[in-house]
Amino acid sequence: MLCDSKRSFLSVLLLQFHILLILFAAIVSPGANDLHFEDGASTADIIGGDVFFEILDPPELRYTYRMRPARDFGATFNESFQLRKVKLVPTVPLHSCTDIENSELLLGQVALSERGECSFASKTSKAQQAGAIAIIITESLDKWDDAQDYLIEMVDDKMELNINIPAAFLPGRNGATILRTLKKLDMKYAIISLPINMTHVPFHKMNQPPWIAW
């Protein structure tokens, strides 16, 4: 039989071992947007088919943002799709599931919409009808405080909508920060460039937002 002091010593060792296992799992397990800084992956491998845009104004949001393009509906963000200094306009209503009220501001610009109420394809269709040339969809407003940073796959809802503009999903914390900042500054839109080529940009030069890790 082990004495109490030996039992106590073994219990402490066992607890420390479990803690080490948990820490090790946290270190080696990749997150949803893990950049693989240490595993030798190239920038091209990491960003894959994702699309990047940069906000030029307001200065508080002047960073490069990563988003996941729609997989099987709408146009693509190809080499011929180059937007420089266009407006990123939050739609009214923000969910973009009904007719958009601020279409005069959206004409020829990029729509920013929230997730929820209807499908991604339906939102894109409404933005297209309002004159937008692309749409970025982010997490819904009621999830601002616990907005997730995952890149969600947007798929066709099989409603046979005639969609001819590109669409992409922006992680929740980025979308929440953009919307909150524009509201705080009493601005109706941000100025962006879309897309930008990040393939050959070294990790240490990526101007990613400080509140999110890719």
- CATH number of residue 191's parent domain: 3.50.30.30
Sign, Cα dihedral of 143, 145, 148, 153: positive
pLDDT in tens, 121-130: 999 999 999 9
Better-scored residue on pLDDT, 147 or 82: 82
pTM tops 0.95: no
Tell me, yes or no, whether 94 and 169 share the same domain.
yes
Tell me, yes or no, whether 57 and 117 share the same domain.
yes
Q: Are 167 and 124 in contact (CB under 8 A)?
A: yes
How far, in Å, CA of 129 to CA of 126, rounded?
Answer: 5
User: What's the pLDDT at 102?
Assistant: 97
Tell me, yes or no, whether 5 and 57 share the same domain.
no
Tell me, yes or no, whether 78 and 133 share the same domain.
yes
Tell me, yes or no, whether 14 and 98 share the same domain.
no
Residue 212 lies in a domain: no
Tell me, yes or no, whether 89 and 118 share the same domain.
yes
Residue 214 lies in a domain: no
Residue 211 lies in a domain: no
How far, in Å, CA of 35 to CA of 187, rounded?
Answer: 32
Reference 140, options 183, 173, 188, 189; nearest CA is 173
Provide the token pair at 75. Answer: 């146009």
Q: How many domains does the chain have?
A: 2
Tell me, yes or no, whether 138 and 173 share the same domain.
yes
Q: Are 136 and 168 in contact (CB under 8 A)?
A: yes
Provide the token pair at 71. Answer: 């997989």
Q: Is 175 a residue whose pLDDT tops 70?
A: yes
Tell me, yes or no, whether 106 and 20 share the same domain.
no
pLDDT in tens, 44-59: 545 567 899 999 999 9
Indicate the range of 30-34, 86-90, 197-201 predicted with least confidence: 30-34
User: What whole-number percentage of the chain has pLDDT above 90?
Assistant: 46
Tell me, yes or no, whether 151 and 56 share the same domain.
yes
The mean predicted confidence, pLDDT, of the chain is 78
* Residue range of the domain that includes 16: 1-30
